[in-house]
């Protein structure tokens, strides 16, 4: 019967302990290396996100070059806040061509300060330069930045050529480090504990946690790219709307120039119609939609605004609106709004008796053939060029033009007062 030799046991135990120690050291080393790698990747993610924010704000601002400075600055702040959640220590700054701050969301008291001598850090100390030197190179920048308070920050800068402004998105480097460590330290400590107790589980948990972190970063990048694409779509839609509006204005001016009215009357009429177009788009802005509109709310608010601009006194005109609750595309709703504008203006100017209560009635419904039926009537004496022999007025000519734009038909009914029925096709899905 053989016995176990004490020396052999000692050697086996020593090998086992040494193997376990090496395994733990390797596990700790892999954990720490992975932690540092994730830290650097997260830091790069913040830099990329801030540069994308600055680019998106500059892209938006280029579309509003005619706005005054204060309105444009307010729009930049709105865009900055809407792109992604804004941490408390993140801030936006805007400076002019002389490197004087004109906006600073974190420290408004610094507006007017000169920041051209603030340092931007390159990968090498010799590559560092001032903000003014960087601007002369005409390049974008993302990386580390030393603020006027001598605080190290993560920042991204880009230019707004239309105003010769610079836009910067900043965040304290110390706060970014703290946030990243706060997020990863529990994972690190848990992995270290598990590595000491159970190496295989430690490695599996390490792999799983960093896979989740990888997916989180990918989702964040995907969300940012999606937001950028949505903004590009909105800008294209904005270009489309501007082009259509200019075509409408051009058509109205062309028709106005052919009328027999005096130049003063022609200019006054054109001014009124363009002003009412602005009212229509103000309604679209209030509804906060760029593609579809709740038609009932839109018509009710628009009609009251038009009556207000025509200086109609309260109680002089009774407005009756009966409209089904439908969502219409903008390309259909805008011509309908322009038609209603012409008809209300015509009623107030030519049909109503200012000593009596007058009535305007607007109705909209959908018939069995999926067609929209817009009905307008007033309590005036009525108008029918086929009976009176009068030539069509400019307002009626514009109404016919807008009806053709929505591929509709127009009918003037002889039922007392003035009544017009417009029928036009609707999209299959509303």
| Domain finish residue from 215, 230, 245 | 230
Does 159 share its domain with 88?
Answer: yes
Q: Which two tokens stand for residue 211?
A: 């896979």
CATH of the domain at 12: 3.30.450.20
Task: Kindly report the average pLDDT of the chain as a whole number.
Answer: 76
Report yes or no on 404 lying in a domain: yes
Neighbours of 26 (CB within 10 A): 13
Task: Give residue-wise pLDDT tens across range 184-234.
Answer: 677 667 766 766 665 555 555 555 665 676 777 788 888 888 877 767 766
Q: Show the tokens assigned to 108.
A: 């408004």
Confidence band for 8, pLDDT divided at 50, 70 and 90? very low
CA terminus-to-terminus distance, the chain: 93
Domain-ending residue, one of 230, 258, 287? 230
Give me Rg for the CA atoms of the chain: 34
Question: Using one digit for the tens of pLDDT, what is the confidence trace for 282-318?
Answer: 766 676 666 678 888 888 888 888 888 777 777 788 8
pLDDT value at 322 more than 80: yes
Q: For residues 217 and 337, state if they share a domain.
A: no
Residue 285 inside a domain? The answer is yes
Q: Which of 174, 204, 230 is the last residue of a domain?
A: 230
**Both 173 and 282 in a single domain?**
no
CA distance 6 to 376: 108
- The Cα 142–Cα 168 span in angstroms is 9
| Domain match, 195 and 60 both | yes
Structural domain including 97 reads 8-230
Q: Are 159 and 135 in contact (CB under 8 A)?
A: yes
Q: Same domain for 276 and 199?
A: no
Q: pLDDT of 104-119, one tens digit each?
A: 888 888 888 888 888 8
- Whether residue 252 is contained in a domain is answered as no
Q: Which of 62-71, 252-261, 383-392 has the lowest mean pLDDT?
A: 383-392
> Does 215 share its domain with 342?
no
Asked whether residue 255 is domain-assigned, the answer is: no
Alpha carbon 172 to its chain centroid, in Å, reads 26
360 has which bridge partners?
Answer: 319, 378
Tokens of 69: 């400075």
Could you tell me if 196 and 301 lie in one domain? no
Residue-wise pLDDT for 17-35, tens only, equals 556 566 667 767 776 777 7
* pLDDT at res. 210: 59
Which residues sit opposite 160 in a β-bridge? 165
For the chain, how many structural domains are there in total?
2
Residue 306 in any domain: the answer is yes
- Same domain? For 59 and 195 the reply is yes
């Amino acid at each position: 019967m053989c016995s176990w030799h004490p020396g052999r046991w000692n050697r086996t135990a020593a090998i086992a302990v040494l193997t376990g120690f090496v395994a733990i050291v390797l596990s700790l080393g892999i954990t720490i290396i992975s932690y540092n790698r994730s830290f650097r990747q997260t830091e790069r993610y913040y830099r990329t996100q801030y540069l994308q924010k600055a680019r998106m704000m500059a892209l938006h601002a280029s579309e509003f070059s005619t706005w005054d400075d204060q309105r444009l600055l307010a729009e930049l702040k709105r865009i900055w806040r809407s792109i992604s959640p804004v941490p408390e220590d993140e801030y936006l700054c805007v400076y002019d061509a002389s490197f004087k701050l004109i906006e600073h969301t974190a420290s408004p008291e610094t507006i007017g300060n000169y920041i051209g001598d603030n340092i931007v850090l390159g990968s090498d100390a010799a590559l560092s330069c001032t903000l003014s030197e960087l601007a002369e190179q005409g390049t974008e920048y993302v990386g580390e930045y030393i603020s006027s308070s001598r605080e190290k920050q993560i920042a991204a800068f880009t230019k707004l050529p239309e105003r010769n402004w610079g836009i910067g998105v900043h965040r304290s480097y110390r706060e970014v480090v703290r946030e990243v460590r706060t997020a990863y330290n529990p994972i690190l400590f848990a992995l270290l504990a598990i590595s000491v107790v159970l190496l295989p589980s430690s490695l599996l948990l390490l792999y799983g946690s960093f896979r989740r972190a990888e997916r989180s970063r990918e989702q964040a990048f995907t969300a940012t790219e999606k937001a950028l694409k949505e903004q590009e779509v909105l800008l294209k839609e904005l270009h489309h709307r501007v082009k259509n509006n200019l075509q409408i204005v051009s058509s109205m001016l062309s028709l106005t120039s052919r009328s027999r009215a005096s130049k003063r009357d022609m200019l006054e009429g054109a001014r009124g119609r363009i002003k009412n177009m602005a009212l229509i788009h103000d309604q679209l802005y209030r509804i906060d939609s760029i593609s579809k509109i709740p038609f009932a709310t839109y018509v009710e608010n628009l009609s009251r605004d038009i009556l207000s601009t025509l200086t109609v006194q309260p109680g002089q005109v009774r407005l009756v609106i009966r409209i089904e609750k439908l969502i219409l595309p903008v390309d259909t709703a805008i011509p309908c709004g322009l038609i209603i504008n012409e008809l209300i203006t015509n009623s107030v100017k030519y049909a109503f008796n200012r000593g009596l209560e007058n009535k305007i009635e607007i109705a909209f419904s959908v018939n069995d053939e999926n067609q929209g039926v817009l009905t307008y009537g007033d309590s005036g004496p009525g108008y029918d060029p086929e009976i009176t022999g009068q030539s069509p007025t400019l307002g009626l000519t514009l109404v016919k033009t807008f009806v053709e734009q929505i591929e509709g038909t127009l009918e003037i009914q002889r039922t007392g007062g003035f009544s017009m029925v417009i029928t036009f096709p609707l999209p299959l899905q509303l």
